[in-house]
Structure formats: C-alpha cells, structure tokens
Amino acid sequence: MKTLLLLVLSMVVAAREATAQDECVRERAAMVETIRAYARSGAGVLGQQGLSERVLEAMGQTKRHLFIPERSCSIAYADRPIPIGLGQTISQPYIVALMTHLAEVAPDHVVLEVGTGSGYQAAILAHLARKVCTIEIIPQLAEAAAKTLKDLAYDNVSVRLGDGYGGWPECGPFDAIVVTAALGELPPPLIEQLKVGGRLVMPVGPAYSTQHLTVVEKIAPGETTTRAVALVRFVPFTRSQN
C-alpha cells in the first residue's frame, strides 16, 4: 500500500511538472503562426519572403508570459504591446520578431540592446547570439529584468543600468544593435560601436507620434547606408538628466 501511495504521489508530481513545462505552449505556438502569417501578408513589410525561421524558433522558445506583470497566457501571447509599468511597454510580438529579423543576428555575434524594459527582447536575442549586452536607464526595470533573465538561465546576457545613447564600448564592438525606444536622430556613439557589416535597427522619429523603423548598415569605417522599413510607434528614448 505504501509503495502504491508513493507511486501515485510521484505521478502527481510528474504531472504537475509537465503542466508547468507546458504552460502557455498552445498560446505561444499560435503567436508564432500569427507572426508568420502577418509577415507574409500584405500587412507585413517582408511579403512572401517571410521572417527568418531562426527568429521564429526563438519566439517560440521564449516564455513571454514570464516577462510581464500579469502572467496570463491569453494576454502575453496576443499580438499587441503590453504595459510593464513606469510608462514603458513590452513591444508587440510581430515588431519584436521584425526588428530581430532585420538585425540579422548570427550564432557568433555580440549584440547590444538599448532599452532592456522587461528583458523579453534581450531573451529573444540571447537565443540567437553568442553574447547580448543590454542597457536600461530606469533602475526598477533594469533590476527586475536582470533578475528575470538570471532566473531563466540566460547566462549570455549582461544587463547594465545607464543611458543607452552612449552605448556600451566595453562590451563591443557589436555585430548588431537593437534600440527599443524612439529618438529623432541616430546616436553617433552607437554607429561608432557597430562593426563593419553590422546593423543598427531602431525607430527614428518624434516622441508620441509615428516613427520610421530604420535599418542602418555600416559598410565601411565612417560610411553607412540607411533605409526606413515600416511605420511604428515606440515609447520615447529616455536620456540621463546629468
């Protein structure tokens, strides 16, 4: 009888562990299919080319519900931005996927993210790159994101508190830079820290208005090409007051 009881208890524990592991799996898979369909439709900017399968795999592996205040599967995996407090948001999944795709991150790359927020974009990049350095200017968000990323064993991500306009020279140079807040100009320090052949992806335009999602490619020292990809609306880039 005791053996049977232990067997039943072990089955219950195993079932609970399986349930925990499977949490939000259907919603996450549905999100990926929504992103895939949107990217290939006329509403997307890539047409039939679609998004990189590596990016879609990273989106499917990353538990977005653990990066938002309300850990709801239905809310987390809807294709929409979500407030995370302090006037900031976690971007719409399609936009996260699009920016990551445009950055063309390879497995041996070192990537800079400016605007850590919840840490979700950094987690996506961590699936694709060798190393991710991410900067957040709001102390509460930097601390919370660092804890979440550490708890989820994203060991190739480093979080820094500070003004991202100046980049992070000690971590660079970078193969790709992703900026998740809008600014009216391209920050020269970020372009300086970009490797030749590297890409900077960021929204460029006025605060609280429509901006252009912009891709800058460094083709030689001191020489870049720039193209606008899509119209977006991001929170404004926050600068240090010092």
pLDDT at 195 over 90: yes
Q: In total, how many domains does the chain have? A: 1
Band the pLDDT of 43: cuts 50, 70, 90.
Answer: low
What are 15-38's pLDDT values in tens digits? 333 344 478 999 999 999 999 998
The pTM assigned to this predicted structure is 0.89
Backbone angles phi, psi at 213, to 5 degrees: -70, 115
Helices 25-40/93-103 angle, 10° precision: 60
**Does 63 reside within a domain?**
yes
State the chain's mean pLDDT as an integer.
Answer: 90
Residues with active-site annotation: 91
Backbone angles phi, psi at 81, to 5 degrees: -70, 155
Query: 90-96 long-range contacts, Cβ below 8 Å, gap at least 24?
Result: 90/64, 90/117, 90/118, 90/120, 91/120, 91/121, 91/180, 91/234, 93/31, 93/34, 93/35, 93/59, 93/64, 94/34, 94/35, 94/38, 94/39, 94/44, 95/213, 95/232, 96/59, 96/120, 96/121, 96/124
Reduce the DSSP state of residue 227 to 3 states and report it. Answer: strand
**Does 238 reside within a domain?**
no
Tell me, what DSSP letter sits at residue 43? T
Return the number of other C-beta atoms located less than 10 Å from residue 179's C-beta: 25
What are 128-177's pLDDT values in tens digits? 999 999 999 999 999 999 999 999 999 999 999 999 999 999 999 999 99
The DSSP string of 160-224 is EES-GGG--TTT--EEEEEE-SBBSS--HHHHHTEEEEEEEEEEES-TTS-EEEEEEEEEETTEE
- Rounded Cα–Cα distance for residues 209 and 193 (Å): 28
**Does 208 reside within a domain?**
yes
Q: Could you give the maximum distance between any two Cα atoms of the chain, in Å?
A: 77
**Does 178 reside within a domain?**
yes
What are 51-78's pLDDT values in tens digits? 999 999 999 999 999 999 988 999 999 9
Q: What is the CATH number of the domain that holds 200?
A: 3.40.50.150
pLDDT at 12 over 80: no
**Does 56 reside within a domain?**
yes
Give the structural domain span for 53.
Answer: 2-232
**Does 92 reside within a domain?**
yes
**Does 239 reside within a domain?**
no
**Does 167 reside within a domain?**
yes
